[in-house]
Amino acid sequence: MEKLRVIQWTTGKVGKLALRAILDDPRLDLVGVYAWSPDKVGTDAGTLCGRPPCGVAATDDVDALIALKADTVIYTPFMADLDHALRLLEAGVDVVSTNLFFNVGGVKGETKERLEAACASGGSSLYITGISPGWINTMVTAMTGVCRDVRKISILESADCSVYESKETWEAMGISRTGTTPEIAEMAKLWMMPAEEAVQRMAHALEYTLDDIEFFLAYATASQTVDLGYMTIEKDTNAAVEVGWNGRLDGNTIIQMKFRWYLTKHLNEGWEFSDDQYRVLIDGEPGIDTRIRFLPPDHWGNHEWDTMTALPAVNAAFNVRDARPGILHLADVGLPRAPAGQWHAARE
């Protein structure tokens, strides 16, 4: 098999793990790394991700990276740079992104039109994935393959998020703040826009045309002050959130994505949380009730959980290469999978 020439775009929490996966995958050839931080420019890619030096140095020269004529960019910045994405797509490079473009309004409206035009110009594809939204939506849509009828799909995520050390994210989601003001609600809605788009993508895959998608939001408050190291949540401020979207048709919710995230279990409201990261309920013929629990290796630290965001993108690279040009839907990409046999053979 001819190797896929890949560029890793940024080396933050998710990008570092994506870079590690690219170097470990014998099907992939790392040809470039984009560094957002000036202090990483010139550093070997292996050094940036805890692997032996590989001879590829990080750079912030976008023109030089485009000139490499790579097949694929694994795009993982915290904030999307729409100009970068457009330039890559126009140059004919597929972009597989864990970034959800929420800071530029999501992949809709004018942004969507510009991205589609760039794909058409370059004959390239854009696919947005991760763990959720992303992998879980692909998996659940595939589960309906055993059903004769599907009346409703619910994806319920329950997670201890205290290990996700991003104060900016949690403050934007209303955590450590008081109440549910219009400002808090609007900011949370903005940050949850990718989940709205995931509901739309699932509806598209199931050939539903939704009437509307409604947002919901509720908080539970800390019963004591909690110091997480990277942020402090004062007593009686928001410490857990239930948030999500209902895709509705003919007055009924037919697709729901609900997230129940907590940074402490010491809550005034007494909310309870499942040990299962996901519970999937499909009201159909037959019905399906599935629980998914991830079992991390003993050596994983807090940030290793981001592996599950990075790997769906890296493992989708060949599927995206073989797909049509344009912004891809779930059905366009199918079920990316780990190249387990290749990894095994490479280690022998």
Q: Among positive and negative, which fits the CA dihedral 176, 180, 181, 183?
A: positive
Is residue 267 within 8 Å of residue 240, measured between CB atoms? yes
Nearest residue to 82 via CA among 54, 57, 118, 56: 118
The band of 1, judged by pLDDT with boundaries at 50, 70 and 90, is: low
What does the pLDDT look like over 202-211, one tens digit per residue?
999 999 999 9
Residue 248: phi and psi, rounded to 5, are: -120, 145
What does the pLDDT look like over 154-181, one tens digit per residue?
999 998 999 888 899 899 999 999 999 9
Judge if pTM exceeds 0.85. yes
What does the pLDDT look like over 276-288, one tens digit per residue?
789 999 999 999 9
Helices 307-314 & 13-24 angle (0-180, nearest 10): 50
Name which residue leads in pLDDT, 286 or 341.
286
